[in-house]
A = this chain, B = another copy of it.
Amino acid sequence: MNSSFCIAVHALVYLNHMQKVLSSEELAQNVCTNPVLIRKVMSRLKKAGIVDTKGGNNGGYIFTADAETLTLERIAEAIDMQFVGSPWRSGDIDKECLISSGMGEIMQNICAQLDEHCRKSLRGITVADIDRKILKHEKEPKIDEKA
Contact = CB atoms under 8 A, between A and B. Distances in A.
Interface string A1-44: 11101110110011001000000000000111100000000000
B32 A90 contact: yes
Contacts of A78: none
Could you tell me the dominant secondary structure of chain A's interface residues?
helix
Given A99-B30, A135-B98, A3 B121 contact: no
Contacts of A100: 14, 30-32
Copies of this chain per assembly: 2
A99 B1 contact: no
A65 interface: no
Interface of A: 1-3, 5-7, 9-10, 13-14, 17, 30-33, 72, 83-86, 88-92, 95, 97-100, 102-103, 106-107, 109-111, 113-114, 117-118, 121-122, 125, 130, 133-135, 140-143, 146
Given A6-B89, A114-B121, 8 more contacts: A10-B90, A10-B107, A13-B103, A32-B100, A98-B135, A106-B141, A113-B143, A114-B143
